Structure 1
Amino acid sequence: MDVQDTFYNKDEYVETASGNKVSRHTVICGSQNIVLNGKVIVQTGAIIRGDLANVKTGRYCVIGKKAVVRPPLKQFSSGVAFFPLYIGDHVFIGQDAVVQAASVGSYVYIGKDVVIGRRSVLKDCCIIEDGAIVPPDTTVASFMRFTSAGTIEGGQGNPDYVPPGMQEQMIDYTKSYYEHFVPIV
């Protein structure tokens, strides 16, 4: 996965001491409940809903343009409860994706226009392809690929199987993305 330089206006982004780069055009609700663990990029138009419950990301995560990250909810007869959302290290969330998972493991690639249903669990080293819709309460196992056709593919001999090198590929990809996310001089 070759990464091209992505240029941004330095005035448009806030860079924290831990290396997070957050667009000033991001909607962050309940910032006291949001933890970005370092070298996280939150691009223009993204929405993070920490006002509903805690949201925590690992290191080297990318939240794409206009992506929505919000904690999952569960309806009870007495009302609605929101639960924390945990996102692991080296996770890429594509443009216009909506993530309402209970947890997203490390080394996960979530494509553009993806919808991750409420309380879903994405294990480590999985791929959610562009345009896929993961139904609520679905678990996508490690080294699996969830396609836009709504199927989970994997196993030996399947050409769409996520390679065992997925962890190293995501580490390289997210670190490269961070290094190539450069201000306009």
Structure 2
Amino acid sequence: MELSTVYYNRAEYIETDTGNKVSRKSVICGSQNIILGGKTIIQTDCVIRGDLRRTGGGHAVVIAIGRYCLLSQRSIIRPPYKTYKGIFSYYPMKIGEHVTIGEGSIIEAATIGSYVSIGKNCIIGRFAIIKDCCCITDNTVIAPNTVVPSFSVYSGSPGAYQDELPECTQELYENKSKDYYAKFTPLD
């Protein structure tokens, strides 16, 4: 299926040297603790919480997002947290390349691999690990600490294994994310 061109208001987006397109209407806290790999699109009303980090020394990078990712409108990305030995702490989150996060989804995973599609209105629980080449369908709730294996489709509440993805998933998701980026065009 051919993707149609998506037009956006050039004044609403900031474009970085590495090709990231970030909506001025998104909320990005602690930007010094967030790394964007390049050619990532962060749409309107997204919330990325880079300010939630461990106090004291240690990791400065709170959220790392790979190349060609799409964070759709109203998605929320915040690092996972837990209390360990009486101390409340946030932990870093890593999102791979060619990852699409649907509208209204809330992400608190420890790791999301590359070539992953997360549908609309999903909740990815704290410290979940989503391996490479996965599909999480719309309205799915992935419980905290769940490991979603490669080439699997998860859906439901709570999210459960539904199907297997073909070996060409990596190519399909890569082509889709590059095509979306190419067709995300400013109105002039």
TM-score tier, shorter chain, comes to over 0.9
Give 1:163's aligned residue: 166
- The question of 1:145 aligning with 2:153 is answered yes
Deviation (angstroms), 1:124: 0.1
Displacement over 3 Å in runs of 4+: none
CA RMSD for the aligned pairs? 1.0
Identity of aligned residues (%): 45
Deviation (angstroms), 1:163: 1.2
TM-superposition CA deviations, 1:33-79 (whole Å, max 9, x none): 00001000000000000001310011000000000011001123523
Amino acid at match of 2:186: P
Rounded Cα–Cα distance in structure 1 between residues aligned with 2:2 and 2:110: 30
Deviation (angstroms), 1:161: 1.8
Task: Give the SS at the match of 1:22.
Answer: strand
Alignment coverage as a number of residue pairs: 179
Task: Give the SS at the match of 2:88.
Answer: strand
Task: Give the SS at the match of 1:113.
Answer: coil
Runs of 5+ consecutive residues of structure 2 not aligned to the other structure: 54-61
Task: Give the SS at the match of 1:145.
Answer: strand
Q: Pairwise mapping of residues 91-130 of structure 1 onto structure 2 (< 5 A)?
A: 91-130=99-138
- The question of 1:74 aligning with 2:74 is answered no
Rounded Cα–Cα distance in structure 1 between residues aligned with 2:47 and 2:94: 16
* Structure with higher strand content: 2
TM-score (norm 2): 0.92
Give 2:58's aligned residue: none
TM-score (norm 1): 0.94
Give 1:83's aligned residue: 91
Give 1:62's aligned residue: 70
Rounded Cα–Cα distance in structure 1 between residues aligned with 2:31 and 2:51: 7
Rounded Cα–Cα distance in structure 1 between residues aligned with 2:68 and 2:123: 21
